[in-house]
Chains A and B, each alone.
Chain A
Amino acid sequence: MSQQVLRLVRPTKIEFIRLRRRLAIARRLYKVLKDRLLILTQEFIAEVKEAYELRKKIHELIVTCDTERNKALTYTTPQQLNDFIAVRVEGLNVVVGTRVVAGVRIPLLELEVKEGVYKTTAYPITLEAVGKCYDEVLKYSLRLAELEASIALIGKEVQRVKRRVNALENIVIPRLIATIKYLRMKFEEREREDKIRRKRIKQILMRKSEAR
């Protein structure tokens, strides 16, 4: 299948030159795409490794924070906790942007926290520690969300580029090479036929001149 010859309108020299140009472009494109695939794969693996480490860290933090919270709740009433939640942070937003990695647009998140003003003596110190612990969880969670989205986007791009590289490597380039080879053989055959024809004509003409 890969050795199939392209369907040509006319087996001419012009077509031959055009095909050779196409082959050169296809080979250049193949090299570029292969380099891009390498970069994307490296980026993908690096992001997966970072996400893996970060997720492990977040999971450990969640366990620590939950334990701390349960301990803190023994000294706090639910009303006190709700009041603390209401005053601790005044505003929390996430700034969503994008960055480009190897031609892929991936999300970029940044946490924006406006801390609340309150009397620290009004609440148990353990509650503040728990709050800080969850601050860390949230901060790392955003980075993880960013990484996991990047992994999915870069992964899809890897699949897309891989399909193109495979198509070039196994279909387009072999077909172009086969067609060029076919044309070259055709021209050689035509040349041989011409040569024989010229010889024949020469012989006929010589025979005619001898007869006169």
Chain B
Amino acid sequence: MTLSIAKKEIVVLGEEDFIAGFKLAGVRKSFVINANKPTDELREIVSKVLTSVYEDPSVGVVIIQYKLKEVAEKVLKATQHPLILFLPSGREVGKVDVKELYSRQIKSFLGISMEV
């Protein structure tokens, strides 16, 4: 069993408003993406950014704005590194159904409907 411990960076992807908070917390690497662009254009941009992120071995965690989830999921690779997390901005919070999010995961992995 090999134990690998490495120091990595955090990358944030999203609109300027979303990134600003994480910058205050000390995140240095970020990519500003205008989520209001047409889907095809947005997919291309997100794909380019994520490709560069995947190629960068210094990246450990990628925080992506929830608004980009649909587009990002289509270009995400099924790898464990870096870890991907989708978070909403302050204005989007109400649109995310947290209960539904995890109930869906339970259903897909365990094959049973269960409320969290």
Contact = CB atoms under 8 A, between A and B. Distances in A.
Nearest to A73: B20
Given A58-B87, A65-B90, A109 B60 contact: yes
Nearest to A134: B25
Nearest to B93: A59
Contact of A88 (B1, B26, B102): B26
Task: Name the interface size band of chain A.
Answer: 35 or more
Secondary structure at the B interface, as helix, strand, loop or mixed, is: mixed
B26 A137 contact: no
Given A69-B20, A89-B26, A141 B63 contact: yes
B108 interface: yes
A91 B29 CA distance: 12
A56 B93 CA distance: 9
Given A52-B116, A94-B9, A107-B80, A138 B27 contact: yes
Given A62-B87, A65-B21, A134-B21, A93 B116 contact: no
Please provide the 5 A-B residue pairs with the shortest distance between their CB atoms, ordered closest to farther: A89-B26, A66-B90, A155-B109, A92-B26, A134-B25
Given A94-B10, A151-B109, 8 more contacts: A45-B114, A51-B102, A92-B26, A92-B28, A96-B8, A97-B5, A109-B60, A131-B24
Interface of A: 41, 44-45, 48-49, 51-52, 55-56, 58-60, 62-63, 65-67, 69, 84-85, 88-89, 91-98, 100, 107, 109, 112-113, 127, 130-131, 134-135, 137-138, 141-142, 144-146, 148-149, 151, 153, 155-156, 158-159, 162
